[in-house]
Amino acid sequence: MLLDYPSLLVAIGFSAVCLVGILLASWIAARSDGFLLTSAVGIAFVVLHVLSYRYYVADPDPWVGVLAIALLLSAFSVLMATGRQFRLGIPPWPSASLAAGLGILVTVPPFFFGYDGLSFMLFNLVAGILLLLTAWEYWQGRGEAPLAVLTMCGLYAATAFSFLLCALALGLSGRFALGEAPNGIAEIINVIVSIIGVAGIGALTLALNQSRLARAHRQEAMTDLLTGLVNRRALFDHVRDHPLHGDAAIVLFDVDRFKSINDQHGHATGDHVLVAFGAALQANLAFGQIAARYGGEEFALILRDIGVDTALRQAEAVRADFAARVRDGLGLTCSASAGIAFAQPNGYDFEATLNAADQMLYQAKRTGRDRVAVASARLVTVVPFTPLPSSRP
């Protein structure tokens, strides 16, 4: 051998053991994403493979060789399923079991007929395919964390090609009955690449988990947990990052007599009313519009490139949809008032337009509630409530 092959196997095993411990500790600490646990299970199979294969290198017992093949194919099947779990959030075990079962069925039988070389060739071929499929799974989810995922794909692909190189070397040698573990240059390259792959893939798995946790925390901080709409902070951040131009409008809604709803029917019912209003807003959103829970029972709707009549119709559609949802779902009669303000001809000032919409909301409240007040540069129009059919199917 060109290098101490058993020592290289020990290096893989030691790296894998450390990685399993780190992955398990990270999963136990957060338990937010199951793909960490699945990764730990896959790497644990690698550890068991290394132990059995190192024994097979020293004493080529066919049953130990079969066990080593089965363990590594199981490991790669679980890691492939981990990629699907990371991307789609689906349970990993059905696909892992199917892939491992098919792989073992293809690679193991020649061993029992004395063709261990053929079995190892098929094993390396199937292992390479499984690793390439794993790289493909992560590649399809690259939009979540492009740099980390692309690096992960590169490591999986490099490890896959090292296994395919072993399969090619065995095929070219024509030795389909070895009686010992393959021990050429291809195997040395494979084990060196695998050492790098185990360490790199483990580090990137942890990095992807931390990135996902950070995004989840940010999403929680920017989302109203009751309605699922963005909150006031997210609304202001959105307008700061995506300035509104052209004919922009702000609509502020307020659920009428919301305190009396809480007092008469309880806060749980009040929460259901707010959820219904959030659902009505979402159901009537068009592309490029954003709806937010502004605070308490107040909601905001940001409209881009829209005229007065269209904005008024949309506000009325939201109010009608809300009234229908509360009536049908809770058996209550509820209404909402709204104020609409548009950008001034000489430019768009978000704070000024927001304040104007707030003044129009109070104007609607003062003139009897259950209506929309619209502000313009020259006049204020108060529109009495006209029942509209619900926009729900």
Chain centroid offset of residue 276 CA: 26
CATH, range 5-220: 1.20.1070
Q: How far is CA 249 from the centre of its chain?
A: 33
Write down the pTM of the prediction: 0.69
Report the alpha-carbon angle 228-368-389, nearest 5.
Answer: 55
Residue by residue, pLDDT tens for the chain (393 residues) are 445 677 778 888 888 898 898 888 888 877 767 888 999 999 999 999 999 999 999 899 999 999 999 999 999 999 999 999 988 989 999 999 999 999 999 999 999 899 999 999 999 999 999 999 999 999 998 888 899 899 999 999 999 999 999 999 999 998 899 989 998 899 999 999 998 998 899 888 888 888 887 777 777 788 898 998 999 988 888 888 877 666 788 999 999 999 999 999 999 999 999 999 999 999 999 887 899 999 899 999 998 888 888 889 999 999 999 999 999 999 999 999 999 998 765 556 788 888 889 999 999 999 999 999 998 653 334 444 444 443 333
In whole angstroms, what is the distance from residue 92 CA to residue 34 CA? 9
CATH superfamily for domain 232-383: Reverse transcriptase/Diguanylate cyclase domain (3.30.70.270)
Residues 6+ apart with CB under 8 A from 147: none
Domain ranges of the chain: 5-220, 232-383
Which secondary-structure segment (H or E) carries 239? helix 232-241
Element (H, E) at 141: none
Adjacent-strand bridge partners of 299? 253, 293
Give yes or no for a contact between 312 and 262, defined as CB atoms under 8 angstroms apart. no
